[in-house]
């Protein structure tokens, strides 16, 4: 989504920019609310034909959207890891955000500890190294020196920080 000021900034023709600057009225641009965006998305999804829904990428996108809306993180990351064509590149724009949300949910749900191996499976990390790269910036408390278990009780205190 582009903001009006971003679009105007991209105008290369100086004369056009100057005309926009001296307009005798103010241009007000309303950006859609998140509710309006979801409504538009739902309308678009409802208007898809069966032929469009049978397309591999569209079907995958509908499954991703469904798993995201239901907060089914395991399914979401499984779909992310098995995305057709270049879909995984689109999902990667918000995958880390969803991983953080899912990790918060897991930490709240498990007590006293959760195995890191389970977390990597649930969050769709291909290797433990990928998990450690992701988690090194997060204030996660491990219950042992080998970092095989996350101390959920101690980590819950830090959840609001990320």
**Could you state, in chain order, the average pLDDT of each consecutive group of 10 residues for the chain (162 residues)?**
62 74 62 81 89 94 94 96 93 93 94 94 94 93 93 88 74
pLDDT score for 24: 59
pLDDT score for 22: 67
Domains in the chain (CATH in brackets) are: 33-161 (1.25.40.990)
State the pTM of this model: 0.73
pLDDT score for 42: 85
Q: Cβ neighbours of residue 79 under 8 Å, at least 6 residues apart?
A: 60, 63, 64, 67, 91
Q: How far apart are the first and last CA of the chain?
A: 25
Q: What are phi and psi of 124, to 5 degrees?
A: 70, 30
């Amino acid at each position: 989504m582009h903001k009006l000021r971003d679009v105007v900034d991209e105008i290369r023709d100086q004369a056009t920019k100057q005309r926009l600057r001296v307009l005798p009225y103010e241009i007000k641009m309303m950006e859609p609310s998140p509710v309006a965006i979801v409504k538009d998305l739902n309308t678009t999804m409802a208007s898809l034909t069966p032929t469009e829904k049978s397309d591999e990428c569209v079907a995958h996108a509908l499954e991703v959207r469904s798993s995201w809306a239901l907060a089914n993180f395991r399914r979401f990351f499984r779909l992310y890891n098995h995305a057709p064509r270049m879909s995984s590149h689109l999902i990667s724009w918000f995958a880390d955000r969803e991983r953080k949300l899912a990790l918060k949910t897991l930490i709240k749900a498990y007590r006293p500890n959760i195995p890191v191996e389970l977390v990597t499976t649930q969050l769709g990390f291909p290797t433990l190294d990928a998990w450690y790269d992701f988690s090194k910036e997060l204030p996660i408390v491990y219950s042992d020196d080998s970092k095989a278990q996350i101390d959920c009780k101690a980590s819950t205190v830090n959840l609001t920080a990320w």
